[in-house]
């Protein structure tokens, strides 16, 4: 178990020690979660599933047209002379 010391700053901020940031692959600006369990604070990195969900939710769902003329769409890609 990796256990390192850090101090709480005047604004209540704590610097996560570099060995822990490296172990969890934490980058500046990345979100983390804090949990309190009994007398401990647990720091947790977002899961890959949560990151993927956020990425997918960035895009608005678009409706497809009801009728698509596939021939027209295909041939429109070629230059007509």
Question: Helix, strand or coil for residue 73?
Answer: helix
Instruction: Read off the pLDDT of residues 61-80 as tens digits, 9 standing for 90 and up.
Output: 767 777 888 888 888 888 76
Structure tokens at 50: 């949560």
Rounded to two decimals, the pTM is 0.53
The Cα 5–Cα 49 span in angstroms is 31
Helix locations, 14-76, DSSP H: 18-24, 48-57, 70-75
- Contact between 44 and 32 under an 8 Å Cβ cutoff? The reply is yes
Three-class DSSP category at 34: strand
**pLDDT tens, residue by residue, 32-54:** 888 899 998 888 888 778 878 87
């Amino acid at each position: 178990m990796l256990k390192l010391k850090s101090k709480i700053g005047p604004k209540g901020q704590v610097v996560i020690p570099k060995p822990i940031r490296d172990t969890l692959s934490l980058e500046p600006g990345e979100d983390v979660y804090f949990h309190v369990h009994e007398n401990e604070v647990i720091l947790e990195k977002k899961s890959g599933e949560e990151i993927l969900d956020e990425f997918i939710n960035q895009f608005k769902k678009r409706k497809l047209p009801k009728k698509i003329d596939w021939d027209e769409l295909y041939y429109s890609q070629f230059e007509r002379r």
